[in-house]
Chain A
Amino acid sequence: MPDKIDISKNIKEQISQNHIKMRSKWFFIVEKLGLESGFLFSLLLGLAILCFVLYIMEQNGAFEFTEFGVQGWPVIFDNIPYDLVVAAIVLFALANYIIKQFDFSYRKPFYLFSCSALILISAVGIIMFWTGVNHLMMEKLASAPIVKNIASKKITNSPQGEKAIIGRIVKVGSGVVTLQTVDGKQLGIVINQKIERPLDVRFIPGQVIKIIGSKEGEKFKAKFISIIQSNNRFIKIVPIISPVPNASTSN
């Protein structure tokens, strides 16, 4: 078996007979532009979807229940729009796949750069969320045609699931408080001495409260209750029954 070969004549012949053709430089320019656009589009759309996820959870009151600590986590998990989160993850995976097609992606500074970029984006995202900038941006986005359709299905202004409720007190009875929810329904909330609630607080009609508990038939058994403060947006969202009936303030 030869240690050396000579294929130069063969290759030359194939080229001169047009059996092999050089790709135009435009092919590579378009390919590069396509990859860059694909990467940016995937990354930005993924980020936008994540911001939208936070907006939906905020609108549905999921973050209201962080006050309850570990007890509030099931409520938060129930309110995550998982289909949108999966969509964001798929887009990030696509962006990751695309970036690996570039020559610089395996070089050491790239890893450092991408980790730093990830930390920076996360930090900016958190700041945007806590300052309310995310809310303002998403409100505008939610009015865009395609997004509006998704938003109308996902945003109910009410916690999803059967573990949590936000509502306005309509009537206070002995061991039971009647609550008016966002969708206009009335629900009896069973309150007993075992629940956690702020000390020296009395429930009065008109207050908006948030409750963690469980639904039992037509009633809701409360485990944790907290009063929503007057500057909270749910004060405006939860309807007021007019006129508010005179009721006992005892609990």
Chain B
Amino acid sequence: MDIQKIPDEELVERARHDNQEAFSEIVKRYQNKIYSYASRLVGNRDEAEDLTQEVFIKVYKNLYGFDIKRKFSSWIYRIAHNESVNHIKKRSYFKILSIEQNEFLKNTMSSTENLIEEIIQKESSEKIRKLLDKISFKYKEVLVLRYFEEKSYEEMSDILRIPTNTVGTLINRAKGQLEQIVKKEGLKISNF
């Protein structure tokens, strides 16, 4: 069978028995996804590359810690999330915005539904990264997972280890905060 068609979970099972080719395939499948995810979280591509390497080292070390019945994708993203958070904490990188929770909840408009999609379609990666850097980290990570990594709510729940309902709540709040920033800075989406 072509190795590229083998499911992730089966590759893990083979890699556990010292099948180097299986693990290499895992790395090839996920290296760019994890790199892209990490770079959006930490905002620096060099650091994201180092982080990606750390993620795969951890994945290899803990292969037997993965439950075959669960989804591998969620597991590796979970590791990537943890490594990114630890890295950011060490660097004291992320900014906590002072927007009152009540304020942005009150001001959240139903028209934010298409805001994120519009930003992704129209703006360059660099501009998107700058915009994401302005929002709280906990909202940034849900937006990245949802709109860039295209994860389902259930997958996000597994990655972030929070209930599915909380994922939905965080996404709504993230959209609200994003719209606040766009309005506050008087930005037109195509101009910032």
Contact = CB atoms under 8 A, between A and B. Distances in A.
A28 B64 contact: yes
Interface string B34-73: 0110000000010001001100110011111101001000
Interface in B6-41: 16, 20, 23-24, 27-28, 31-32, 35-36
B165 interface: yes
A4 B48 CA distance: 11
A27 interface: yes
A1 B49 CA distance: 11
Interface stretch (A102-110, A148-156, A193-201): A102-110
B65 A15 contact: no
Nearest to A12: B24
Contact of A5 (B23, B24, B49): B49
A11 B64 contact: no
Interface string A14-56: 1110001111110110000000000000000000000000000
A7 B53 contact: yes
A23 B31 contact: no
B23 A15 contact: yes
A12 B31 contact: no
Contacts of A12: 20, 23-24, 27
A185 B139 CA distance: 68
B35 A5 contact: yes
A22 B27 contact: no
A218 interface: no
Interface residues of B, number: 32
Contacts of A108: 163-165
A27 B16 CA distance: 14
A6 B52 CA distance: 10
Interface residues of A, number: 28
A11 B32 contact: no
Interface string A209-251: 0000000000000000000000000000000000000000000
A94 B23 CA distance: 37
B31 A5 contact: yes
Interface in B156-182: 157-158, 161-165
B128 to A, nearest CB: 13
A106 B163 contact: yes
Contact of B64 (A24, A103, A105): A24
Interface in B77-130: 125
A11 B45 contact: no
Interface of B: 16, 20, 23-24, 27-28, 31-32, 35-36, 45, 49, 52-53, 56-57, 60-65, 67, 70, 125, 157-158, 161-165
6 contacts: A2-B45, A5-B52, A10-B53, A12-B27, A22-B63, A107-B157
Q: What 5 pairs across the A-B complex have the smallest Cβ distances?
A: A25-B64, A8-B27, A1-B45, A106-B161, A28-B65
